Amino acid sequence: MGMHIGLAADRRCGRERRTFDDPSYFGPERRSGLDRRSATEGRGFLNLQPFAAGESAVCVEAGAAAGHRLVARNDHHLSSPLVVVKRLESEFAYVEADAAAGHRHVLEMMSQLEARKGDRRTFVCDERLERLNTVKDRAVYVHFGDDPSSETEYLCTVVIPGEPLVFQYESATHERAAWLLLKRCAKVLGYDIDDVKADVRLGSLSLQPQY
């Protein structure tokens, strides 16, 4: 299968699936994508995205949801977004890839880092801004699994060049249901699975946009 950038209605197999920009929809796409929101009153919340390997973060909020990240094995290079999507398409029944959503995601991350100029702005954040600006046009949001109608058996992340993949879960039920998908994802990409702790304050994470 080829890489499909941008979502088309005919790719939404299973039950009818609405678009990312439908504000009244809170199905798997709405809860797990770039526009991820809580199920109550449309309030936004924080998600996580990785720093490149070896960095220390200073812009991490406490209380973020636990999750996992996939990292390159034995200091190998991380795959490009194009390669990641193609490998996912070879493994899973459906893969939705959206370059525009990935681009918006990175811009929002940069906006949050810029807003910290008078707060905890450091050389690390400056370096991160420079790196994100370089790769923002290549970032791709992906949502994938085997059953498009499932509320729990899916995974999603934003593939940012040169950075690990971070996955978070809506609930313990979602984490359990998606575990085998995560293992298959790691295997097809040749990555290792690392835990992301809920109480991380300093580490290799930065914030996804808040809505």
185 C-beta neighbours (distance < 10 Å), count: 26
Identify whether the C-beta of residue 70 lies closer than 8 Å to the C-beta of residue 87.
no
H-state helical runs in the chain: 28-32, 81-91, 99-114, 123-135, 172-189
Q: Hey, which of 28-32, 192-196, 206-210 has the most confident mean pLDDT?
A: 192-196
Report the amino acid identity of residue 99. Answer: A
Q: What is the DSSP string of 48-83?
A: EEEPPTT---S---TTPPPEEEEEEGGGPPPPPHHH
Give me the residue spans of the domains in the chain. Answer: 26-36+44-207
Statement: residue 156 has pLDDT above 70: yes
pTM (predicted TM-score): 0.65
